[in-house]
A and B are shown apart, each in its own frame.
Chain A
Amino acid sequence: MLNRVVITGIGIYSCIGKNLDETTQSLYHGRSGIILDPERKSYGYRSGLTGFVESPNLKGVLDRRSRIILSEPGEFAYMSTVEALRIAGIDQDFIDRNNVGILFGNDSSAKAVIFANDIIREKKETVMVGSGSVFQSMNSTVTMNLSTIFKLKGINLTVSAACASGSHSLGLGHMFIKHGYQDCIICGGAQEINLYSMGNFDALGAFSIRENAPHKASRPFDRDRDGLVPSGGAATVILESLEHALRRGATILGEVMGYGFSSNGAHISNPTIEGPQKALEMALEQSGIGLKEIDYINAHATSTPVGDASEAKAIFNIFGGQGPYVSSTKSMTGHECWMAGASEVVYSMLMMGHGFIAPNINFENPDEDSSRLNIVAETKETNINCFLSNSFGFGGTNASLVIKKWDHK
């Protein structure tokens, strides 16, 4: 028998809030977390725009060994995970007695790599990079560090799938639990935000250059969008089997109903309509939820001309002209890349919990494709019973999740 998979904890550390309360306020009021970073300009970026959240000061929180091996995305993920575990009512004693796993999305840790190689080039020997660098440098830096800090004993795996990493981590966590391999998994996504993290992405000319108005720069679905704004932080979602959650008396926040995935089988960076559509359809079919029951879609829409149009077409092809409310929270956060699939589930969970849809800010003029969607440009107070969250990434990786409010049934 397959297990039902529920969400019992969420946590966030982002440019629109360093905890759930701050983030809820930002979502409700449509606050942007985008800044213009002069250091990026002097470093050579075409665009100095970025989401910004400062690194947490973990001295006195974590011991020296834990801190010096923790990368920037690891620091962010530590913060969001502490909050998610607290919400879930999971303490260290519980973790010590149970088989808790971790599946986290992350796809780079550039700063540590660059710092280490600068030292090696200068000193002509490797030992001077110190003992922490290798553990900060690897893609699996988040899972290797958090599993050590929290002494986890279950699945321990990083999901690297470009900008769909966070979403796939939840999807895979869902599969592990659904099929009985794990009872409880810490899922999520993390994204570094430092100067060194996005230079090669900037090189593609994909970033908005609306530098005179940072809060207006990320404008998914708007006719006048000119590119995405990179951003980062971390988000954590605690997944459990329903039986496990009920047995320990956890407060259940939602249920993961479907996980759809696909690969475009096409260009490295150009999106398709068919690939995302296939992932959406798979998630919906698996969920057993009718199209009319989807109240809200948290779109992947990053504010790039081609990407938003493709997603709009995919959504329209499935839902038609009377589809659910749609917004892209990237209008406020920027594109949180490896973290985005997880953070956007957290944002949507907050909206579902508080009865509102966050606005797709800067949606001032629709284009041909976005005009056919039911895009929410102003905060809308409404009940969300079920939402769909999309994430797509380089290489044509697609993931869609369908999540339903817990109704005690």
Chain B
Amino acid sequence: MTQIEITEKIVPFLVDEFEVDAELIKPEANLRETLQLDSLDYIDLVVVIEGNFNFKVSLGDFQNIVTFNDLYCYVDSKVNASQESITT
């Protein structure tokens, strides 16, 4: 799965779950501020990511995710790591 494919998959479910305008979701935008996330919302972020990509997400993983681009890279690394593990 390419990062473009990942991005194209993530944006719609973030729009749907957090009810934000898709145009606000730009790679360099701040994830927490744009989605107006509070501590409870991060749990729902875990739910939608796990539900859509089928890998285990830890709340601690979000400590290093500031922008949407960080999120895309995080998902990319997890998805492709799991695919590599399946291949090998």
Contact = CB atoms under 8 A, between A and B. Distances in A.
B19 A128 contact: no
Contacts of B44: 68, 130-132
A130 B19 contact: no
A131 B39 CA distance: 9
Contact of B51 (A65, A68, A128, A131): A128
A127 B18 contact: no
Contacts of A128: 46-47, 50-51
Interface string A65-101: 1001000000000000000000000000000000000
B86 interface: no
B22 interface: no
A127 B43 contact: yes
B46 A127 contact: yes
A64 B47 contact: no
B84 interface: no
A64 B18 contact: yes
Nearest to A67: B19
How many A residues are at the interface, by size bracket? under 10
Interface residues of B, number: 12
B47 A127 contact: yes
A65 B38 contact: yes
Contacts of B43: 127, 130-131
B47 to A, nearest CB: 5
A131 B50 contact: no
B41 interface: yes
Interface in B35-73: 38, 40-41, 43-44, 46-47, 50-51, 59
A127 B18 CA distance: 17
A131 B43 CA distance: 6
B19 A131 contact: no
A217 B51 CA distance: 44
Given A64-B18, A64-B19, A130 B47 contact: yes
A127 B19 CA distance: 21
A68 B48 CA distance: 14
B73 to A, nearest CB: 22
Contacts of B46: 127-128
Interface in A40-59: none
Given A64-B19, A127-B47, A131-B41, 15 more contacts: A65-B40, A65-B41, A127-B46, A127-B50, A127-B59, A128-B46, A128-B47, A128-B50, A130-B43, A130-B44, A130-B47, A131-B40, A131-B43, A131-B44, A132-B44
11 contacts: A64-B18, A65-B41, A68-B44, A127-B46, A127-B59, A128-B47, A128-B51, A130-B43, A130-B44, A131-B41, A132-B44
Question: 3 smallest A-B Cβ distances: which pairs?
Answer: A131-B40, A131-B43, A130-B47
